[in-house]
A and B are shown apart, each in its own frame.
Chain A
């Protein structure tokens, strides 16, 4: 399969995948520090147990940030127009997530050619953890 490029984008194109993990407790601590989101449920197993969970679980926004790399790396940061996702299941410690995107629509808006990209993050056992979509600006067609 030939690699999809923004200049030749068409519906059905798969964007290069990003595989992230295994997600360790260190990853969770580092993301808490880097993001400033210090919610203890992700870094303190005593707290997680007091909430009735077996263990800490990963910050949703960690996977969100990795999934955002898929459209951003393909189209360029300055061409990302929108990015939105729904958190469909928890990402657990030791998960390896695969982030994938597919072009589902090409349209014009605000004087730009744009692509809508369907996105999903999936854990190693097939569990979907995040689903969503991005809109990116594409290079204008040559006249």
Chain B
């Protein structure tokens, strides 16, 4: 899939994943791959700057938890994150509906 198409919406997808429960980085990549049926193969190198940036903007918070002897950094969505998610989802729906309408005309 074209990267440019994805880049703007990746934050929204991560917020959506985290709205269903706290997750750590690796878990998010796996979940995204599964739910998108292998369409979204997010590089870890793209994921962490995104997560850290969203944390700085107070959309996420993080905490460490020890699981099976490993320290994992979990991310959790905040109230601000849920607000942004709602706004981005509405924008995305409006955009995708418009695209579909135009494509239907062409069809």
Instruction: State whether these chains interact.
Output: no
